[in-house]
Structure 1
Amino acid sequence: MLEDDFCDIIKKARTGQGLSLDRISAASGIETAGLQELEAGRRAPAREEVLALAAALTLDGPKLAAIACDRWEPAHPAHQTAQDVILVRGDIGGYEVKGYLFYDPSTRDAVMIDTGYNPEAMLRAIEKERLTLTAVCLTHGHADHAGGLDTILARHPVPVYIGEGDWTLLGWQPSAALRKFVGDGETIRVGGKDLRFVTTPGHTPGGVCYKTGASCFVGDTLF
């Protein structure tokens, strides 16, 4: 599942390169106040603004415009239904973040893919849908994707899968008994379904994607 929309992309691209709003304003010709509105998602950008920002941030202009103006989204796999995934939204510092519950409707077994920085909503969803949580799978160790892990494990002491390179990034670490380092190509069962681990270092040293069928939960590997 793709994690970020236009406002997330431009803000992360700017901050990731250590660029100030004033510098991007000068490079793009968009006033600083206008940039703040775009980064906060308070208004839709014009195509000309998107292309100017792409040039200033060294992003692909046509692709960014396809996301921002043409509302491009990946095709929904025909065999993957909404019944398999529950989306939970959270917020950290103005960024919307997402976590997921991937489950088998026939057995109600589920894994959590990132916490969505909203453990209370995750716990409510598990209870409402009468799911049995069998594991937590973290795409990486940053707080916006792993925050609240302690709250979740206090209720559901299940294994936590994470790339070994991201272990030290966790603000709170589960016990060694629950820690499971991910190996590329390994799989776990979720009821009658397979979830495969794909190691994707880059955004963080121990980044991981989780693939099932034609769908893949990518965290911040793509944004």
Structure 2
Amino acid sequence: MVGRTHFAIGLASGVGLAVASGNPDDVGHLGLTIVAAGIASIIPDIDEDGSLINNFIFPSLRRRYRSFTLAALGIVMIALYLVKDLPLWVLLLGIFSAGVAYAPHRTVAHSLFSCAYVSWITYLIEPFLTTAVVVGYLSHLFADTLTSAGVPYLWPYKKKFNLRSIGMKIKSGSKEDRLIGNLALLLASLGFVYLVGHIIYNEAIIAGWF
């Protein structure tokens, strides 16, 4: 699926997580949860130079230079960790950046291993956001499972899993792809409005406005 669809599904997943966790009582935490899930939902496509995540990270850089730059940044982070007293997540993020820079599309970055690895980095940076990142990342993998290409969940085992056996074989950029993205964005928007309204209502009760 295209990046916009993945991002919309990620946002909707973040809203769903907020609802499932008992409705947050803080707009800031709500926003961080949704944004973290949205960003995590496009990370798996970092192995594709023209992807949404790479357009976001390297907006002014030509596609042909993006893999090299990502790998170089990773190497620099690893080097800085070795010579400076930096947190462990700097090393792990550097390894991830260098490792996926030239990886073929839909391989290591589209796996449960990568999801766990990115979630570990997130936990070291900000534990509160870990669940949102897991949910967002998995939303990408599940969405790509609906496509004919499938997803190598168990990488380095190369088998790609999909739902073609039950007729699910959506093509990236197709009408179905765009429809799913639009519906996900609508659900995310409605859910966000509901949650913000819930927070405002609770604060009004506490303040004695009702």
The TM-score with structure 2 as length reference comes to 0.25
The structure, 1 or 2, with the larger RCO (C-alpha pairs under 8 Å, 6+ apart) is 2
Task: Judging by fraction of residues, say which structure has more strand.
Answer: 1
The TM-score with structure 1 as length reference comes to 0.24
Task: Judging by fraction of residues, say which structure has more helix.
Answer: 2
